[in-house]
Homo-oligomer: A and B are copies of this chain.
Amino acid sequence: VTRRASLWGVQSKSEPALDQPQVIQAALDLLDEVGLDGLTMRRLAEKLDIKAPSLYWHVRNKDHLLSLLAEAICARTHLPESTLPWRQQIEALAHEYRRALLARRDGARVLASVFPSGTNRLRLIELVLRNLLNAGFSRRDAAYAGFMLNDFVTMFVMEETRPIEQPANGQEGPPTTAQEWVEGLSPGEYPSVRALADHLMDNNAQERFVFGLEVLLDGLERRLIGKS
């Protein structure tokens, strides 16, 4: 990435200045490289060959940058056929949403860190809510269900992608692996945790996601049956 400063008022077409889309793209690349915790304004500036304060010409502050990243992460989600039954549409949307969050490192954490706004993200929300209304949910239930679905997917992916604690040093500490975690439990205590240890940490994420989605939609569907 090479650029040059142009003189004030002189629109030098051969030396285009940095613009916001380029900043966002660089930030997305940096996010994939170093994760959300490593994404700093200073490192982003370095990547763009400018000094950190220059970034504030293109974005209001770091929070604004994260909002823009959230929007970019929600872009290019494939929307379901509007002729499908509501449940299948919502299932498809949930899977697409998860896919989008997994596509970039710490995508779920980025989404969780900013208030939902932006056309891409709102379009997803709109579609979920529309399907719930079409299904026959009351306005209250549709709104509450929308929260649940959004929260479920976001939290699921955050957990799914949470890196396991590293040993860091040879010292004693919190368990470094899931295996070590369960073995650290005193044998007599927490018998259920021990009994379920395999499944608590298999991290067969796809299977677990389908399970969760089914439970959630079953629970929602039951409210429709109760009414009609």
**A residues whose Cβ falls under 8 Å from a Cβ of B:** 60, 63-64, 67, 114-115, 117, 119, 122-123, 125-126, 129-130, 133, 139-148, 151-152, 154-156, 159, 165, 171, 173-175, 181, 185, 189-193, 195-196, 198-200, 208, 211-212, 214-220, 222-223
Given A117-B174, A140-B199, A175-B117, verify A208-B133 contact (CB < 8 Å): no
Please name all residues of chain B whose beta carbon is closer than 8 Å to the beta carbon of A174 when the two chains form the complex.
63-64, 67, 114-115, 117
Main secondary structure of the interface of A (DSSP, over half): helix
What are 24 residue pairs bridging A and B, where the CB atoms are less than 8 Å apart in the complex? A67-B174, A115-B181, A117-B174, A117-B175, A123-B190, A126-B189, A126-B190, A126-B193, A130-B192, A133-B192, A139-B196, A139-B198, A142-B192, A142-B199, A143-B196, A144-B208, A148-B215, A151-B151, A151-B152, A151-B159, A154-B155, A214-B219, A215-B219, A218-B218
Q: Complex formed: what's the CA distance from A102 to B6 in Å?
A: 54
A20 to chain B, nearest CB (A): 15
Contact residue among B123, B192, B198 (Cβ-Cβ distance under 8 Å from A129)? B192
Please name all residues of chain B whose beta carbon is closer than 8 Å to the beta carbon of A122 when the two chains form the complex.
185, 189-190, 193
Closest to A137 in B: B196
Closest to A222 in B: B218
Q: Complex formed: what's the CA distance from A147 to B203 in Å?
A: 11
The 9 closest A-B pairs by CB, nearest first: A219-B219, A143-B199, A215-B219, A129-B192, A218-B219, A130-B192, A151-B155, A143-B196, A126-B190
In this complex, the member of A115, A156, A181 whose beta carbon has the largest number of chain B beta carbons within 10 angstroms is A115
A146 near B115: Cβ-Cβ < 8 Å: no
Contact residue among B60, B64, B139, B196 (Cβ-Cβ distance under 8 Å from A199)? B139
Contact residue among B60, B156, B215, B217 (Cβ-Cβ distance under 8 Å from A145)? B215
If A126-B190, A142-B192, A218-B223 are given as contacts, then 7 extra A-B residue pairs at C-beta distance below 8 Å, sorted by A number, are: A117-B181, A126-B193, A133-B196, A139-B196, A142-B199, A218-B219, A218-B222
B223 near A125: Cβ-Cβ < 8 Å: no
